């Protein structure tokens, strides 16, 4: 899938749409999910144009991968969920129900999160 530069997270990165930012550095931007599923629900996105984890893991240079992973851990600690525990999740493609075609990791925390997947 080709990267769509008009996806909503690309527009947030360009400052065209506001977000409730919690962290930013050269590699990543983190902000509150607009429809939180847990008391803490933060999205962390890389600054580079990657459709999903599949694209990022195959194509991002090592410095961007390190910077992004470190940002996710940093944000979780900064949000105060590292001690109590948290879940990170990245959807890729149709079966996962990925909605926004720019890589994003969800950080969920602040309550007991229950089973990993809904039974179908």
| Sites of contact with ligand AMP (CB under 6 A) | 8, 17, 19, 33-35, 43, 91, 97-100
Question: What is the Cβ-side half-sphere exposure of residue 93, based on CA atoms within 13 angstroms?
Answer: 5
Quick check: helix, strand or coil at residue 13?
helix
**Between 13 and 60, CB nearer to ligand AMP:** 13
Residue of 27, 102, 104, 106 marked catalytic: 104
The end-to-end CA distance of the chain, in Å, is 28
Q: Which is nearer to ligand AMP, 8 or 22 (CB)?
A: 8
Q: Which is nearer to ligand AMP, 36 or 63 (CB)?
A: 36
Active site residue 27: no
Closest separation between CB of residue 92 and ligand AMP, Å?
Answer: 9
Separation CA 14–CA 17 (nearest Å): 8
d(C-alpha 56, C-alpha 4), whole Å: 15
Rounded to the nearest whole angstrom, what is the least distance from the CB of residue 70 to ligand AMP in the complex? Answer: 21
Residue keyed to tokens 């506001």: 18
């Amino acid at each position: 899938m080709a990267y769509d530069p008009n996806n909503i997270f690309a527009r947030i990165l360009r400052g065209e749409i506001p977000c409730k930012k919690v962290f930013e550095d050269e590699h990543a931007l983190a902000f509150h999910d607009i429809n939180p599923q847990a008391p803490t629900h933060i999205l962390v996105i890389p600054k580079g144009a990657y459709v999903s984890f599949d694209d990022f893991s195959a194509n991002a240079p090592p410095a961007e991968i390190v910077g992004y992973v470190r940002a996710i851990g940093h944000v979780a600690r900064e949000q105060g969920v590292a001690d109590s525990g948290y879940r990170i999740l990245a959807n890729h493609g149709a079966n996962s129900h990925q909605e926004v075609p720019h890589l994003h990791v969800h950080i969920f925390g602040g309550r007991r999160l229950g089973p990993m997947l809904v039974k179908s």
